[in-house]
């Protein structure tokens, strides 16, 4: 298969980890006889430095001309510490999600045997954890207007809005995923307080009739946050709005020991985008210490998206072996265990592909 991949490395550790993902994809292509072509484009703080815009028109064009986008991370402390900066890297990410129509963000969480004793939770609690969180990605409070301050600057406001159409399309994605898995769907909302959540719940109840094979349950987000820690193996597919999904998936990511392990796929109207869920981790940038596994596993999701199942599974197995053999970066290393560099971990994984 021939695939054109837009490579948007972004900020912080983005360039290091996407380089490992790319090399791993290339090794996989070599083994299975595929051809992947990459076009690099700037995004985030890196793009602001170059062009003044965190998601330049040219980058957007390159994404549209590609079959898929492989994305690193964005964010830079120089903006985090300046809340008044008129242009921010995160705006690039949000604009990219919105303009590529990437409304469904899939974040799989699977705690394999190799990860069980690296989890902060007890083995008997995390064992068997295997779920996907479907996060709505282009609506809700991230995009609602009005947003701003009053004249005096003493009052600030954000707006959370959802339309039935926005809720329906992401629910359909989640129902279809559940149907292909263990057929349990958990709808997470705050319907006891928020009107948008009540619309979510009402819409989910209506659509559920079209998917009778799937058992649907409804959880308030505070309870869901607790159940994820108490009984993570209970979940199969979780679907929720943008901000709840952002928060719950950071929580869920450490079930397997590290935020550096969680990959994601964003699907929508055009080319799909694949990215690790961790951020730009600026403290580690350029030091060759960040965990490349989430980026490499995002590459596996990319392959799976194009039906290359065996290829994706080969990468996952290689990652699993590498952890079992103890070749891990510091985030996963047990106390006293030697930790490897980013590129060593990447090399070990590729040796197994």
Interface residue list for ligand IPM (CB under 6 A) = 75, 90, 93, 246, 277, 279
Q: What is the distance between the alpha carbons of residues 191 and 197, in angstroms, rounded to a whole number?
A: 5
Q: What are phi and psi of 47, to 5 degrees?
A: -75, -35
Nearer Cβ to Mn ion, position 136 or 246? 246
Is residue 136 involved in binding Mn ion (CB under 5 A)?
no
DSSP-derived pairing of the beta strands 130-136 and 215-220: unpaired
Contact region with Mn ion (CB under 5 A), list: 156-164, 191-199, 238-246, 312-320 = 238-246
75 interacts with, out of ligand IPM, Mn ion, none, CB within 5 to 8 A per kind: ligand IPM
11 interacts with, out of ligand IPM, Mn ion, none, CB within 5 to 8 A per kind: none
Choosing from 49, 82, 117, 222, which is the catalytic residue? Answer: 222
2 is catalytic: no
246 is catalytic: yes
**Residue labelled with tokens 């947003």:** 147
The strand pairing partners of 110, in sequence order, are 130
Is residue 246 involved in binding Mn ion (CB under 5 A)?
yes
What are the Cα distances from residue 215, in Å, to 63, 208, 218, 225?
Answer: 37, 8, 10, 20
DSSP 100: T
Q: Are 121 and 258 in contact (CB under 8 A)?
A: no
The strand pairing partners of 267, in sequence order, are 104
CB of 264 to ligand IPM, least distance (A): 8
Q: What is the DSSP string of 288-311?
A: T-S--HHHHHHHHHHHHHTT-HHH
Nearer Cβ to ligand IPM, position 105 or 329? 105
Nearer Cβ to ligand IPM, position 93 or 318? 93
CB of 348 to ligand IPM, least distance (A): 27
26 is catalytic: no
Residue nearest to ligand IPM (CB): 90
Q: Which residues contact 199 (CB under 8 A, 6 or more apart)?
A: 162, 164, 167
190 is catalytic: yes
Q: Are 68 and 305 in contact (CB under 8 A)?
A: yes
116 interacts with, out of Mn ion, ligand IPM, none, CB within 5 to 8 A per kind: none
158 is catalytic: no
* First-residue to last-residue Cα distance in the chain: 18
CB of 250 to Mn ion, least distance (A): 5
Nearer Cβ to Mn ion, position 17 or 318? 17
Q: What is the distance between the alpha carbons of residues 220 and 208, in angstroms, rounded to a whole number?
A: 18
CB of 245 to Mn ion, least distance (A): 9
**Residue labelled with tokens 């609690």:** 125
Choosing from 76, 246, 320, 331, which is the catalytic residue? Answer: 246
Choosing from 26, 67, 158, 250, which is the catalytic residue? Answer: 250
Is residue 304 involved in binding Mn ion (CB under 5 A)?
no
Is residue 275 involved in binding Mn ion (CB under 5 A)?
no
CB of 46 to Mn ion, least distance (A): 19
Percent helix, percent strand, percent coil in the chain, to nearest 5: 45, 20, 35
Q: Which residues contact 228 (CB under 8 A, 6 or more apart)?
A: 235, 248, 251, 252, 255
CB of 21 to ligand IPM, least distance (A): 16
**Number of residues in contact with Mn ion, rule: CB under 5 A?**
1
Active site residues: 142, 190, 222, 246, 250
Binding interface with Mn ion (CB under 5 A): 246
């Amino acid at each position: 298969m021939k695939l054109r991949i837009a490579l948007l490395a972004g900020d912080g550790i983005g360039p290091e980890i996407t380089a490992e993902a790319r090399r791993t994809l290339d090794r996989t292509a070599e083994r299975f006889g595929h051809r992947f072509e990459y076009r690099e484009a700037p995004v985030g703080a890196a793009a602001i430095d170059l062009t003044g815009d965190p998601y330049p028109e040219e980058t957007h064009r390159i994404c549209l001309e590609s079959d898929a986008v492989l994305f690193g991370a964005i964010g830079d402390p120089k903006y985090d510490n300046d809340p008044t900066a008129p242009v921010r890297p995160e705006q690039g990410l949000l604009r990219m999600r919105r303009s590529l129509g990437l409304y469904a963000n899939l974040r799989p969480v699977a705690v394999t045997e190799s990860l069980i004793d690296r989890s902060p939770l007890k083995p008997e609690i995390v064992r068997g954890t295997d779920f996907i969180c479907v996060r709505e990605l282009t609506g809700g409070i991230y995009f609602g207007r009005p947003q701003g301050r009053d004249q005096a600057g003493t009052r600030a406001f954000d707006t959370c809005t959802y339309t039935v159409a926005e809720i329906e399309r992401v629910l359909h994605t989640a129902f279809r995923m559940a149907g292909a898995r263990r057929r349990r769907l958990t709808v997470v909302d705050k319907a006891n307080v928020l009107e948008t959540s009540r619309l979510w719940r009402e819409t989910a109840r209506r659509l559920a009739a079209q998917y009778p094979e799937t058992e649907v349950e409804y959880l308030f987000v505070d309870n869901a946050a607790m159940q994820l820690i108490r009984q993570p193996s209970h979940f199969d597919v979780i679907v929720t709005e943008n901000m709840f999904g952002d928060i719950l998936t950071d929580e869920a990511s450490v079930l397997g020991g590290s935020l550096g392990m969680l990959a994601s796929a964003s699907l929508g109207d055009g080319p799909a985008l694949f990215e690790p869920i961790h951020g730009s981790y600026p403290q580690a940038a350029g030091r060759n210490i960040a965990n490349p596994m989430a980026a490499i596993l995002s590459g596996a999701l990319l392959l799976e998206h194009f039906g290359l199942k065996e290829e994706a599974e080969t990468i996952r197995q290689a990652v699993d072996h590498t952890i079992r053999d103890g070749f891990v970066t510091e985030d996963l290393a047990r106390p006293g265990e030697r930790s490897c560099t980013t590129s060593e971990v990447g090399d070990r994984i590729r040796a197994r592909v």
